[in-house]
Amino acid sequence: MNPDVYPDENEAHFREVYADFITRIPEELGVSTALAAEYMIVKDFEERADDPQLLTYEDGSILVEMSYYFRSENLEQAVFNLVSAGKKPILAHPERYLYMANRLQDFETLIDMGCRLQMNWMSLTGTYGPSSVKILRHLLSHGMYSFICTDLHSLHQLDSIMAIELEPSLAKKVNELIASY
């Protein structure tokens, strides 16, 4: 469970919702769950890097994202501070940041700083437009992704994912990424 967390929200609320959620999962299903969050890199987010309330994965991985409309001015500082605090930042759906299409080298810089990139499976459908697919192809062909996720928000999206037919070269790269886990 990875709720999006914005500055005016409180991690305690998500912990309460998660605690209630896991009580509703039948034990016989044997489902394992975890609570983490996806943090919007906004002004002053970098100051929270060592905040023990941040919802991270057990290994210290933390999902971060930017606005789809503009690049976060404090992106590198946020990544630096998170890494310095012992966290492992993961930039969610970088292919959706269309303003980065002419700044692809910035992704290399982030990776060199210790940030990993997570591809959104829905991006393979072309849902977010041709520029998004172009960025995705570049990042995928250069082995820059560390993870792939569904980022499902509805059952309708699951139908779209299940219907994806990838061209062979793209399918090969996606399979390599999945096998690397």
Q: Is the pLDDT of residue 51 over 70?
A: yes
pLDDT recorded at residue 180: 84
Whether the pLDDT of residue 153 is over 70: the answer is: no
**Closest by Cα among 58, 55, 114, 111 to 84:** 114
CB 33 within 8 A of CB 25: yes
Residues 127-152 pLDDT 10s? 899 999 999 999 999 999 999 988 76
| pTM for the structure as a whole | 0.89
Q: Which residue range forms the structural domain that includes residue 77?
A: 4-179
∠ CA(160), CA(166), CA(167), 5° rounding? Answer: 155
pLDDT tens, 13-40? 889 999 999 998 888 888 888 889 999 9
Helix axes 130-141, 168-179, angle to 10 degrees: 60
In the chain, how many domains are there? 1
Q: In terms of Cα–Cα distance, which of 39, 126, 127, 138 is closest to 90?
A: 39
CA atoms lying within 13 Å on the CB side of residue 139: 37
CATH number of the domain enclosing 92: 3.20.20.140
Token duo for residue 74: 């404090």
Mean pLDDT in residue range 55-61: 94
Indicate the average pLDDT of the chain.
90
Q: H/E element holding 118? A: strand 116-120
Cα–Cα dist 19/93, whole Å? 27
Convert the pLDDT of each residue in 157-171 to its tens digit.
777 777 778 888 888
Greatest CA span in the chain, whole angstroms? 50
